[in-house]
Structure 1
Amino acid sequence: MPPSDRSSDFGPLFRRGGYAEFLRISAILRKETVGGGILLLATVAALIMANTPLADTYFAARDFKFGIESLHLNLSVGTWAADGLLAVFFFLAGLELKREFVAGDLRSVNRAIVPVAAAVGGVIVPALIFTLINLNGGREALRGWAIPTATDIAFAVAVLAVIGSRLPAALRIFLLTLAVVDDLLAIAIIAFFYTSEISFLLLFLAFIPLALYWILSHKFSHFFGTRAWAAWTILLPLGFIVWALVHGSGVHATVAGVLLGFAVPVVRSRRGGGPDAGPGLAETLEHRLRPLSSGFAIPIFAFFSAGVAIGGAEGMLRAITDPVAIGIVVALVVGKPIGVLLATWIVTKTTKATLDPDLAWIDVTGVAVLAGVGFTVSLLISELGYGQGSPHDDHAKVAILVGSLLAALLAAVILRGRNQHYAEVAEKEALDANQDGVPDVFETKN
């Protein structure tokens, strides 16, 4: 194929998608922005309680156990939040990722390659930086290599909403997709590298209710989509059985959330048009569960996970001078943007794709820096790698907070100027709508 044809096949990077996809992504971003605010409040509350006279009450509540011992479900409140509530978050991640690749703008390989490559780069480079900094720390320190690899959707989107309201929608979609792919990579890392003992019998048994879940959700997707009670009384119990069996097998239970998300149909019918066949059960469940995830599940997990007893100035000094903490901060603030930018640049060189003429590389740089805001999954991997309450775990959590804050502030500096630039452009170029209600900008050919 001639180079010119190849370039046109890939087209400009971060080009606009369809209007329907724009509206859907915008709705998700609004929900995640609200969730980011709630998440921030939960984190601050946890830090306050863990470092005041309320500390004993906080840690006693976090470590309180309940559940059925015979089913290996007698877990602490903190573990229920990490293994149970986060499964809802990863279920939505599975839904969103499948929706993007089956019926979204990323069903095109040419469009999918950019955020996927950026996510891979944003995992590899931070992991390498952390490993290099902690080579002399021994095997124990190196168990946290995956901590700085994930982007927190809620926090990153909330920051972008505050500082970048006029930034092109393509950048917002890129950040959201990057974060979702990040989550999938993170759950794969958890499954393969943070699982010690596996009961293959329980894991095999988990696929039986999972298969039934898949069959029912595909055969009766319209029934479950129009009757909320049916999904709660039929699909939810099946999902819980899958979760319990995966948890008992030794594989982290959040993997069950992703598998269940992948099992849900995206389009209503495959007859007569693929993505144009109408919304499927995935969209209905996403609409019902996203408020539960962003408004309750993630904040509760953060509340019981982010509470670290810092121990005053001396304790803070010990935390930030720990090579584990240094590796996390450097990896989030420096490694993450380098990985995202490097992978994106490689795509432009290997596919002859070009940056959309409406954008500049400084825009991509700002979003890449913002991708260094890691929190939810980073906290989870820290507990899995070091053990909840261990010195390395406490220091890692402090580093996650510090690194995420620095990444957010640096991204704000970069993107605020670009936001002002696009605000001025918007004043000069009125985006009028046609009689069909679709802005003209979405009707131009990409």
Structure 2
Amino acid sequence: MTETPPGTSRLLGLGSWPEARRIAGILREETVGGALLLAGAVAAMIWANSPWSGTYEALRAFRVGPAALHLDLSLATWAADGLLAIFFFVAGLELKREFVAGDLRQVRRAAVPVAAALGGVIVPAVLYLLLTLGVGASSGAARGWAIPTATDIAFALAVLAVIGRYLPTALRTFLLTLAVVDDLVAIVIIALFYTEHLSVLPLLGALLPLAVFALLVQRRVRAWWLLLPLAAATWALMHASGVHATVAGVLLAFTVPVLRSERSGGPEAGPGLAEHFEHRLRPISAGVAVPVFAFMSAGVSLGGLSGLAGALSDPVAVGVVVGLVAGKPIGIMLATWLVARFTHARLDEGLAWVDVAGLAVLAGIGFTVSLLIGELAFGAGSERDAYVKVAVLTGSLIAALTATVILRLRNRVYRRIHEAETVDRDHDGIPDVYQKRS
């Protein structure tokens, strides 16, 4: 690794110290959420393959909700449409904060994770379509093209916390931002490609509570008894329109202001409303919404080794596994390299391309959103949906194990970088490396 010459732009640089502290806090919460997600998925798999598997399916199919409002939905649907709306609301807040007040408000910093996320969407989709090309249009296999394009934030960060204790802050930030952008792309894909029956009146009706919600948050109103009913009405009308209800979570998030108003002292006066909501809702998203969805979605009966082999021999399953394990890292690495090539940037000091490769492989953990898209593409409970679940679990496991091998080999380098970043000789609470870079 060579030192970056003066005047050369850095790829995956340290960024600012306040941003590093904020990212560290997010990582801690998402790591706990990832552990709960994994526990929920394992519990679902054990239950679905036990003698009591019928009770698991009965639980998923149990319907609850007001029938008059067409919201008498199964618990599995409430988890996919309702709880994941909270997840996407938090993801939307995080993305807006990054681009308005975070280090990614600078175009040169934003270009790398955004390009990497797009590369990690395009290449897996292309590989999936190529591998399912011979199945035939009548089978509907092509509908699953978006399944291997998503990265699971909580699961990936939980793995990273275990295997990459000394990972440089810049790489952690890169993975988090890439995953958030990835989720935004996923919600756009869901809205555009997985909306079959569009009802215009409910969709237009959703704009009214959304507009009132936006007006209130722009005036810095925090009263939950005002905002929560408006958010629920927006979600319900979006659900009735045929557009996947999780889209409402992102739209609501994008209305929330990031910076404090001038009347409150401006941006320097403290955290804005977006950070306030994120602080309140991230534990609910990471600790409840995503783990419950995993529990409701991951349970699939394997039917022993022969059943597992049969599921993984399906072209759709092969496309999903190859997309996650090979497509994601190839797309992310290729896009990152192209950004470096055309901007003449170099990796920051102490980093190497193998570090980026490790994170790119880790991004192949496509659990939560991949399962959601699988259900939308082939129908919840269908035979092909079961194959997709097996493929997503298998691909995510292979990606996690491969990334573990790569990143463990870099552990000694990570430790050296970590020690350099945390040296604080003047005892002012800010690591010296951030002061030198500023």
> Matched residues, percent identical?
62
Structure 2 CA distance for aligned equivalents of residues 305 and 422 of structure 1: 36
How far has the Cα of 1:437 moved from its partner? 1.1
- Structure 2 residue identity aligned to 1:351: T
Whole-angstrom CA distance in 2 between matches of 1:56 and 1:422:
47
Q: Identify the residue that residue 311 of structure 2 maps to in structure 1.
A: 319
Q: How far apart, in 2, do the equivalents of 1:65 and 1:428 lie? A: 55
Report the counterpart of residue 138 of structure 1 in structure 2.
136
The answer to whether the Cα contact below 8 Å between 1:11 and 1:353 also exists between their aligned partners in 2 is: yes
Contact 2:421/2:433 (8 A) holds in 1? no
Structure 1 segments of 4+ aligned residues over 6 angstroms from their partners? 271-274
Please show how residues 159-198 of structure 1 align to structure 2 within 5 Å: 159-198=159-198
Counterpart CA distance in 1 for 2:293 and 2:227 is 24
| Number of residue pairs the alignment of both structures matches | 431
Indicate how the Cα distance of structure 1 residues 430 and 258 shifts in structure 2: closer, same or farther if over 3 A, else same: closer
In the TM superposition, residue 278 of structure 1 has moved relative to its aligned partner by 2.8
* 2:146 is equivalent to residue 150 of structure 1: no
Deviation at 1:427, TM superposition (A): 5.6
Structure 2 residue runs of 5 or longer lacking an equivalent are 1-5
More displaced stretch, 66-75 vs 281-290: 66-75
Which is further off, 403-412 or 430-439?
430-439
Say whether the 8 Å CA contact 2:421–2:432 is kept in structure 1. no
Inter-CA distance 275–344: structure 2 relative to 1 (3 Å threshold): farther
Is the 2:166–2:417 Cα contact (8 Å) retained in structure 1?
Answer: no
CA contact (8 A) 1:16 1:170 kept: yes
- Structure 1 match to 2:68: 70
2:396 to 404, 415, 439: 404
Mapped partners of 1:202, 1:430: distance in 2: 53
**Paired position in structure 1 for 2:254:** 262
User: Aligned runs of 1:380-395 on 2, under 5 Å?
Assistant: 380-395=372-387
Instruction: Give the 3-state SS of the residue equivalent to 1:372 in structure 2.
Output: coil
* d(CA) in 2 for partners of 1:204, 1:437: 51
Q: After TM superposition, list the pairs within 5 Å mapping 1:285-434 onto structure 2.
A: 285-424=277-416, 426=418, 431-434=423-426
| Structure 1 counterpart SS, 2:110 | helix
Offset at residue 433 of structure 1 (A): 4.5
Residues 68 and 116 of structure 1, relative CA distance in 2, 3 Å threshold = same
Aligned partners of 1:269 and 1:278 also within 8 Å: no
Distance 1:269 1:277 in 2: 9
Aligned counterpart for 2:272 among listed residues 280, 290, 314: 280
TM-aligned CA deviation for residue 358 of structure 1: 1.9
Distance in 1 (alpha carbons) for counterparts of 2:418 and 2:79: 44
Quick one: structure 1 residues 218 and 320, their matched pair in 2 at CA, closer, same or farther if it must change by over 3 Å? same
- Deviations along 1:177-211, whole A, 9 cap, x unmatched? 00000000000000000001111111111111111
CA contact (8 A) 1:92 1:261 kept: yes
Q: 1:426 to 1:351 in 2, by over 3 A?
A: closer
* Partner-residue secondary structure (3-state), 1:29: helix
Structure 2 residue aligned with 1:227: none
Which stretch shifts more, 416-425 or 403-412? 416-425
Aligned-pair CA distance for 1:426: 4.9
Amino acid at match of 2:203: L
Q: Partners in 2 of 1:272 and 1:75 — Cα distance?
A: 43
Q: Distance in 2 between matches of 1:383 and 1:373?
A: 17
Structure 2 equivalent of residue 3 of structure 1: none
Residue 251 (structure 1) aligned to one of 220, 225, 243:
243
* 8 Å Cα contact 2:420-2:433 kept in structure 1: no
- 2:52 corresponds in structure 1 to 54
Does the CA-based 8 Å contact 1:271-1:277 persist in structure 2? no
For the residues of structure 2 that align with 1:268 and 1:145, how far apart are their CA atoms? Answer: 41
Contact 1:62–1:304 under 8 Å retained in 2: yes
Aligned residue identity for 1:127: A
Task: Report matched runs for 1:89-100 at 5 Å.
Answer: 89-100=87-98
Amino acid at match of 2:201: L
Contact kept? 1:328, 1:396, Cα under 8 Å: yes
Superposition RMSD in Å? 1.7
Whole-Å Cα distance in 1 between the matches of residues 45 and 358 of structure 2?
29
Q: d(CA) in 2 for partners of 1:25 and 1:428?
A: 18
Q: TM-score, normalised by structure 1?
A: 0.94
Question: Is the 8 Å Cα contact of residues 324 and 364 (structure 2) preserved in structure 1?
Answer: yes
Alignment partner, residue 233 of structure 2: 241
Task: Measure the CA separation in 2 of the matches of 1:308 and 1:285.
Answer: 35
Contact 1:270 1:277 in 2 (8 A): no
Report the Cα distance in structure 2 between the residues aligned to 1:130 and 1:270, rounded to whole angstroms.
50
Cα separation, 1, equivalents of 2:212 and 2:334? 43
CA distance in 1, matches of 2:327, 2:417: 32
- Tell me if the contact between 1:67 and 1:73 (Cα under 8 Å) persists in the aligned partners: yes
The range that moved more, 120-129 or 384-393, is 384-393
Q: Which moved more, 1:10-19 or 1:402-411?
A: 10-19
Q: Check whether the contact 1:267–1:277 (CA below 8 A) recurs between aligned residues.
A: no
Tell whether the 8 Å contact from 1:269 to 1:277 is kept in structure 2 after alignment: no
SS of the equivalent of 1:190 reads helix
Cα distance between partner residues in 2 of 1:275 and 1:382: 42
